[in-house]
Each structure stands twice: as structure tokens, then as C-alpha cells.
């Protein structure tokens, strides 16, 4: 490799050439060349290079003593000091720095050379190696943090996608479930009346058509919302509309508003409307013929919704359903900081309640 060839050329230039010029071949030359050649493995085994190179360099200093020493070979010591700084991080770096100071003191006591020269060829290299190591560590930490952020971004995107799918599924359940429940009930009534009361049978089929049109309109609104089209913000008037439609379809339902109705946030108004719609749908499915009472109460900086039906007067209709309406509704109410409850009441009825804080 070019890097290793350059190290070999450097070792030759700072040890072999000065020795040849001076004509002072000795074991010192071999030890210094060996110390320099250990640098060939500085990337793969920096700590081993530091230990082996430093040991060979110290052995060369002991061999030289007060005799001739090739000063250009101090470049090898500088490179070894730089490798030592790269090899040790954290608390071990402080130990490496202290070891370098002790090592220089030992060399100065052995080699016939100025302590200034020893410091100039080691301390700056050690500092440069430390800076390079810290930059590498910072880059590695940044890369690791970048990978973590990318993983978090992917996880967040997946959770957001799941949340959006759940929201869309809940909206579809409310829209389609209510419309189909009304259509099935009216179709059953129309089948019973078609032979003996054609006018009421026709009214039942008109109710089916109206429910289908309303369901289609609600689906179109949902499609517009998902497509980014601006639609009117929902308000509590939606509750009056769904109650009025249910009454037209033959459900015995009344609705009463209490307290203030202004200032209700659009998301809260929308979910309150879904609470009422789900309560009416459940009454149609599980308690046909019973009376349903809807109470919407505006409290200070909040809203409370209650939908209660009496005990069923006849067998519930088999309308199917996945049983996810109430659970999905609970999640959406809790999502906006509200509270939700649903369960039986005295007398065999059922109540659905939701409260929203302002």
C-alpha cells in the first residue's frame, strides 16, 4: 500500500541514510529501523505498535548511550507519540500522557540529546494525535446518533401511519356502521310492511335511500379531508342533525342541550358527535324500539355527552359488527384528554358517556 511504502521510505531516510553518511553502523541502526517499521501496523494494532516501537526505541537509546545518535530518527519517536495518542481514549489517555512524560524523562537521562528536542518531537505529535482521536470519536458519536435518529424517525413514521390507519378505520366504522344499521332496520321493516301497508313500506325504503345518501356524503367528506381539501369545521350542530335523522328513521330519540354551546373546539365537537352516533347505532342494533335520550351539557371550559337507552322491548337484530365501536371511541376520547365510560344501567338499559375538559 502507498501508506506503508511511505513509512518504509521515511524510516530509511531518517535512520539508514544518516547512518550511512556517518559510517557508524551498529546494533543501534537495527533497533531504530525495527522501531520505525512497527509503524506499518499503526492502523490495525495501535497499542501494540506503541508498546513494541517504544520498547525498541528505548533499547536503541540504551545501546547508543552517550555515543552518536542520528537526530533525524527523532521523527520516528514523534510518530510513535502520535500513535500512542490515537491508541488510548478516555481515562486511559491520561495514563498514556503521564507515561509519555515518564518515557521522555528516561530517554533524556540516557540519550545525549537536548530535552527541548525530545519535547519538540513528541509532545506536539501527542497533542495532534489526541485532537485527531477526539475528532474521530466525535464523528463516530455523531454517526451513531444519526443512525439512532433515523431509526427513531422510521419508528415515528410507522407509528404515525398506524395511528392514521386506526383513525381512518374508526371513521369508516362510524360512517358505514351507522348507515348500514339504519338501512338494515328499515329494509326489515319494509319487508314486513310491503304487503299490508305500502305507504309505510315506501317510507321505509325512502329512509334507506336517505341513509345511503347521507353515508355517501359522509364518506365524501372523509375523502376530502384525507385529500387535503378544506371542509367546514365540525360543530355541535352535527349532533342535532344525526338525532333528527334517527328520529325520521323511526327511532324514539330526544336530544337536550344544556349550558353553553359556544367555544367548543372542532376536534371535541367531532368526537362528541361520534359518541352520539355510536350510541344511537348501538341502540338501533341491540335495543330496537326502546327510547333513547341524548343530553349534551356545556360545562365551564368543557363538554359532557350522555346517550342512554332503555331495556330492549324485543330481540336485538342480528346486524353483525366487529365489536370495535366502543373501544375505538374510547381511544379517540382519551386522545383529546377526555374520559369515557359505557355500560349497563338499572332497569336493563345502556348508557354511553364522555366528558371533555377545556
User: pLDDT tens, 88-112?
Assistant: 888 888 888 888 888 888 877 777 6
Band of pLDDT at residue 3, cut at 50, 70 and 90: confident
The CATH number of the structural domain formed by 163-357 is: 3.30.565.10
Asked if the model's pLDDT at residue 316 lies above 60, the reply is no
Grid cell 333513547 is found at 292
Residue of higher predicted confidence among 118 and 140? 140
pLDDT at 46 over 60: yes
Mean pLDDT of 229-244: 75
Burial of residue 126 (CB within 10 Å: 0-12, 13-18, 19+) is buried
Identify the pLDDT of residue 296. Answer: 92
pLDDT confidence bin for 304, thresholds 50/70/90: very high
Residue 172 above 80 pLDDT?
Answer: no
Check residue 314 and give its pLDDT.
Answer: 62
Q: How confident is the model at residue 256 (pLDDT cuts 50, 70, 90)?
A: very high
Which range among 154-163, 206-215, 273-282 shows the weakest confidence by mean pLDDT? 206-215
pTM of the complete model beyond 0.75: no
At residue 247, the pLDDT reads: 83
Percent of the chain residues past pLDDT 90, beyond the cut: 11
The four Cα atoms 265, 271, 273, 278 give a dihedral, to 10 degrees, of -170
Q: Which three cell numbers stand for residue 274?
A: 361520534
Q: Check if the beta carbon of residue 289 is closer than 8 Å to that of residue 313.
A: yes
Distance (Å, rounded) from C-alpha 220 to C-alpha 222? 5
Please state the domain extents for the chain: 2-121, 163-357
Total residue count of the chain as it appears in this document: 358
More confident residue, 349 or 172: 349
Where is pLDDT greater, at 302 or 1?
Answer: 302
pLDDT band for position 358 (cuts 50, 70, 90): low
The whole-number pLDDT of residue 66 equals 65
Task: Determine the pLDDT at residue 142.
Answer: 92
Q: Is pLDDT above 70 for 72?
A: yes
Work out the mean pLDDT of the chain and round it to a whole number.
81
What's residue 324's pLDDT?
64
Characterize 225-260 residue by residue with b for buried, 16 or more Cβ atoms within 10 angstroms of its Cβ, and e for exposed. Answer: eeeeeeeeebbbebbbebbebbeebbbebebeeeee
In this predicted structure, the answer to whether residue 295 has a pLDDT above a threshold of 90 is yes
> Which comes out higher in pLDDT, residue 88 or 177?
88
pLDDT band at 341 (very low <50, low <70, confident <90, very high): very high
Question: pLDDT-derived band of residue 234, with 50, 70 and 90 as boundaries?
Answer: low
Amino acid at each position: 500500500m502507498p501508506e506503508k511504502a511511505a513509512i518504509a521510505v521515511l524510516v530509511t531516510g531518517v535512520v539508514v541514510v544518516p547512518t550511512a553518511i556517518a559510517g557508524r553502523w551498529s546494533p543501534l541502526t537495527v533497533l531504530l529501523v525495527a522501531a520505525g517499521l512497527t509503524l506499518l501496523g499503526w492502523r490495525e494494532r495501535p497499542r501494540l505498535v506503541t508498546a513494541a516501537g517504544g520498547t525498541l526505541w528505548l533499547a536503541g537509546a540504551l545501546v547508543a548511550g552517550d555515543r552518536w545518535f542520528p537526530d533525524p530518527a527523532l521523527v520516528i519517536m514523534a510518530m510513535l507519540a502520535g500513535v500512542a495518542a490515537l491508541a488510548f481514549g478516555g481515562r486511559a489517555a491520561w495514563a498514556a500522557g503521564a507515561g509519555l512524560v515518564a518515557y521522555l524523562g528516561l530517554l533524556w537521562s540516557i540519550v545525549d540529546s537536548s530535552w527541548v528536542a525530545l519535547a519538540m518531537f513528541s509532545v506536539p505529535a501527542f497533542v495532534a494525535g489526541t485532537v485527531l482521536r477526539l475528532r474521530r470519536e466525535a464523528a463516530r458519536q455523531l454517526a451513531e446518533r444519526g443512525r439512532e435518529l433515523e431509526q427513531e424517525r422510521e419508528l415515528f413514521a410507522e407509528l404515525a401511519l398506524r395511528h392514521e390507519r386506526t383513525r381512518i378505520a374508526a371513521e369508516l366504522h362510524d360512517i358505514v356502521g351507522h348507515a348500514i344499521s339504519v338501512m338494515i332496520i328499515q329494509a326489515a321493516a319494509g319487508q314486513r310492511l310491503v304487503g299490508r301497508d305500502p305507504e309505510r313500506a315506501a317510507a321505509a325504503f325512502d329512509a334507506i335511500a336517505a341513509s345511503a345518501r347521507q353515508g355517501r356524503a359522509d364518506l365524501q367528506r372523509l375523502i376530502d379531508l384525507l385529500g387535503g381539501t378544506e371542509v367546514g369545521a365540525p360543530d355541535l350542530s352535527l349532533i342535532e342533525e344525526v338525532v333528527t335523522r334517527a328520529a325520521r328513521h323511526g327511532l324514539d330519540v330526544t336530544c337536550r342541550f344544556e349550558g353553553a354551546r359556544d367555544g367548543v373546539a372542532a376536534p371535541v365537537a367531532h368526537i362528541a358527535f361520534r359518541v352520539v352516533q355510536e350510541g344511537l347505532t348501538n341502540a338501533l342494533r341491540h335495543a330496537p324500539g326502546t327510547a333513547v335520550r341524548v343530553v349534551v351539557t356545556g360545562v365551564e371550559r368543557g363538554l359532557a355527552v350522555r346517550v342512554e337507552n332503555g331495556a330492549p322491548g324485543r330481540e336485538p337484530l342480528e346486524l353483525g359488527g366487529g365489536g370495535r365501536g366502543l373501544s375505538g371511541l374510547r381511544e379517540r376520547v382519551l386522545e383529546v384528554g377526555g374520559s369515557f365510560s359505557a355500560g349497563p344501567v338499572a332497569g336493563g338499559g345502556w348508557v354511553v358517556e364522555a366528558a371533555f375538559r377545556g
